[in-house]
């Protein structure tokens, strides 16, 4: 009996259909799904970032972004890293201005940063002194004066030594705040001085007239100077005289501050050298505007001697990264503002002329 060979016949009663190989989905189908997933992910991430920015902006606007000094931490930046005692380095870099917080990542203006650092130096017994590092062309009259007063109060009430170290530039308001310190050291290449006040205002009256542009100012007949120094009206010498009177008053305040900070100079000598000019470090030392020329190490050693300690770590107070900082990519502390950025903030909220302890050449 022979074995059956080949494919057995199908059962009776069932139709037979020809079979075809199944076709897979085209590559374009899977590519479309992948692109759709990327689009959804991108939209979701942008919504999260937008929400984070809105929340952060609202917190800063209502003063909630930095409500506690706990949002800041100390970072070692020099000195003896093994030492228990510490010197707090307080940097003032760029134009001196207490500006409004930007949309994301604002750490406050110059005045609030100095105030916050001095609060820490008051309560922390391991901080034995303050090194004020100044690299600034100056800035607002009131902002500079507030920092000066805070430093003077700290010295008189706490008694810890405060030494100023001048960087590339410590002009006008930059020198003003340094006068609050008990000792001023400048780098060999420092530019300082520019003791004086300036108020600048654009006048576009002639150009506006050529273009047919006029500004209508409606004031009371009893307030003829209400629109004084408007850029759209001709320059009036009586208005300039009023502004110059205020400038002279603020200049006298500047001279008084220098006299308080440099007691070895008499007022007549200060007025002679306070004509607005800048000085090199060597010239400033010869004139008595600074105490010495050196480096940050020299300033640190001086602070250690005055604080009667053998060595110290140098620390800076920096903003601690939060959830939104990490989410928005703030993986490292923001660098200090440049002079251009500082000036942008300084002049960005102005609606008219402003009195400044500022050296325009330091832009």
Q: What mean pLDDT value characterizes the chain? A: 82
226 is catalytic: yes
Q: What is the mean pLDDT of residues 165-178?
A: 97
Mean pLDDT of 302-316: 96
- Strand (E) or helix (H) holding 225: none
Average pLDDT for residues 277-281, to the nearest whole number? 98
Q: Assess if residue 187 is contained within a domain.
A: yes
Assigned domain for 47 exists: no
The answer to whether the CB of 134 falls within 8 A of the CB of 166 is: yes
User: Which range marks the domain in which residue 178 is found?
Assistant: 71-194+275-362
Residue pLDDT, tens place only, 53-73: 555 544 444 444 444 567 888
Query: What's the pLDDT score for residue 64?
Result: 44
Q: Identify the top-confidence range among 43-47, 51-55, 121-125.
A: 121-125
Q: According to the model, what pLDDT value does residue 19 have? A: 53
Is 230 within a domain? no
Q: How many domains does the chain have?
A: 1
Position 105 scores a pLDDT of 27
Residue 241 lies in a domain: no
**Confidence band (pLDDT; 50, 70, 90) for 106?**
very low
Active-site residue 172, yes or no?
Answer: yes
The pLDDT value recorded for residue 266 is 94
pLDDT computed for residue 59 by the predictor: 46
* Domain annotation covers residue 222: no
Check 107, 136, 144, 172 and give the catalytic one: 172
Q: Is residue 36 part of a domain?
A: no
User: Is residue 308, in this structure, part of any structural domain at all?
Assistant: yes
Higher pLDDT, 189 or 325: 189
Mean pLDDT, residues 87-112 taken together: 70
Report the CATH number that the domain containing residue 176 is assigned in CATH: 3.90.226.10
pLDDT higher than threshold 80 for residue 7: no
Q: Does residue 253 surpass a pLDDT of 80?
A: yes
Q: Strands (DSSP E) along the chain, which ranges? A: 72-79, 86-93, 127-136, 138-140, 162-171, 183-186, 191-193, 198-199, 278-280, 292-293, 313-319, 355-358
159 located within any domain: yes
Return the CA Rg of the chain.
33
């Amino acid at each position: 009996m022979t074995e059956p060979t080949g494919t057995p016949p199908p059962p009776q009663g069932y139709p037979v259909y020809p079979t075809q190989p199944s076709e897979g989905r085209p590559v374009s189908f899977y590519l479309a799904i992948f692109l759709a997933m990327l689009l959804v992910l991108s939209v979701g991430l942008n919504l999260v970032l937008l929400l984070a920015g809105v929340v952060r902006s609202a917190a800063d606007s209502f003063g909630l972004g930095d409500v506690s000094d706990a949002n800041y931490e100390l970072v070692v930046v020099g000195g003896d890293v093994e030492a228990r005692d510490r010197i707090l380095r307080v940097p003032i870099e760029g134009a001196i201005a207490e500006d409004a917080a930007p949309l994301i990542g604002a750490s406050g203006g110059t005045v609030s940063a100095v105030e916050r650092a001095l609060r820490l130096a008051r309560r922390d017994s391991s901080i034995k002194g303050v090194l004020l590092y100044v690299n600034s062309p100056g800035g607002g009259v009131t902002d500079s004066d507030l920092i000066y007063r805070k430093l003077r109060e700290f010295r008189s009430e706490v008694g810890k030594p405060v030494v100023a170290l001048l960087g590339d530039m410590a002009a006008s308001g930059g020198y003003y705040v340094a006068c609050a310190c008990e000792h001023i050291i400048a780098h060999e290449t420092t530019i300082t001085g520019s003791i004086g006040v300036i108020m600048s205002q654009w006048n576009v009256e002639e150009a506006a007239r050529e273009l047919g542009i006029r500004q209508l100012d409606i004031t009371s007949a009893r307030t003829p100077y209400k629109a004084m120094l408007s850029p759209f009206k001709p320059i009036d010498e009586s208005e300039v005289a009023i502004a110059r009177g205020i400038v002279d008053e603020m200049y006298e305040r500047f001279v008084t501050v220098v006299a308080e900070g440099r007691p070895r100079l008499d007022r007549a000598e200060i007025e002679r050298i306070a004509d607005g000019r800048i000085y090199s470090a060597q010239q400033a030392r010869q004139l008595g505007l600074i105490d010495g020329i050196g480096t940050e190490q020299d300033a640190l050693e001086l602070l250690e001697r005055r604080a009667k300690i053998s060595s110290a770590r140098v620390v800076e107070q920096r903003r601690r990264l939060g959830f939104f900082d990490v989410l928005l990519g703030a993986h490292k502390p923001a660098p200090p503002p440049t002079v251009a950025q500082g000036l942008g903030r300084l002049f960005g909220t102005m609606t008219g002329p402003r009195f400044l302890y500022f050296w325009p050449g330091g832009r």
